[in-house]
């Protein structure tokens, strides 16, 4: 599996190790963390939920697309579900490739497409006691 939904903390060192290869001259990773604000509101925590069978299948498709499109050696993505605190790692993407350009491009492609296409929703809990559900594609790309 190149894409995984996990209720456990993401071990970035172990994930990166799975991408090591003598063919790879570049390794790029992205860490998406829970921040303490969104759209001017103070956030105190997040809860992520996913429709796991569809999320897994769509995530696998995205990683395979990136590997084919950008000539990578390998790629992987892990997305958390459950309750996460401020600063917790919510999503990790890693790519290895012969050259840095392909690694950077593939990494960006994976995170952007995961945010658009994978059925994962987050419930933001705000400092004022309110909460609200968001699908990742509700957030503009690059945020």
**What pLDDT does residue 142 have?**
43
Lowest mean pLDDT among 4-13, 62-71, 100-109, 127-136: 127-136
β-pair type (82-85, 41-50): antiparallel
| Domains identified in the chain and CATH numbers | 3-138 (3.90.1170.40)
**What pLDDT does residue 134 have?**
85
The CA distance from 132 to 124, in Å, is 5
Between the CA of residue 20 and those of 15, 26, 69, 72, 95, what are the distances in Å? 10, 10, 20, 12, 9
What is the tens place of the pLDDT at every residue in 73-118? 999 999 999 999 999 999 999 999 999 999 999 999 999 999 999 9
Mean pLDDT of 6-35: 97
Lowest mean pLDDT among 11-15, 58-62, 126-130, 132-136: 132-136
141, pLDDT greater than 60 = no
57, pLDDT greater than 60 = yes
Report the chain's mean pLDDT, rounded to a whole number.
94
Contact 80, 7 (CB under 8 A): yes
What is the tens place of the pLDDT at every residue in 34-52? 999 999 999 999 999 999 9
Mean pLDDT of 3-18: 97
- Token output for 112: 């952007």
């Amino acid at each position: 599996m190149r894409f995984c939904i996990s209720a456990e903390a993401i071990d970035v060192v172990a994930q990166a190790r799975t991408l090591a290869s003598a063919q790879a001259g570049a390794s790029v990773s992205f860490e998406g963390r829970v921040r303490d604000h969104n759209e001017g509101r103070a956030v105190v925590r997040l809860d992520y939920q996913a429709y796991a069978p569809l999320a897994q299948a769509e995530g696998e498709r995205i990683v395979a697309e990136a590997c084919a499109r950008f000539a990578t050696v390998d790629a992987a993505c892990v997305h958390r579900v459950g309750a996460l605190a401020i600063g917790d790692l919510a999503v990790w993407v890693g790519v290895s490739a012969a050259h840095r350009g392909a690694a950077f491009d593939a990494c960006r492609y994976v995170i952007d497409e995961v945010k658009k296409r994978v059925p994962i929703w987050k419930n933001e809990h705000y400092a004022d006691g309110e909460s609200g559900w968001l699908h990742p594609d509700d957030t503009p790309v690059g945020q």
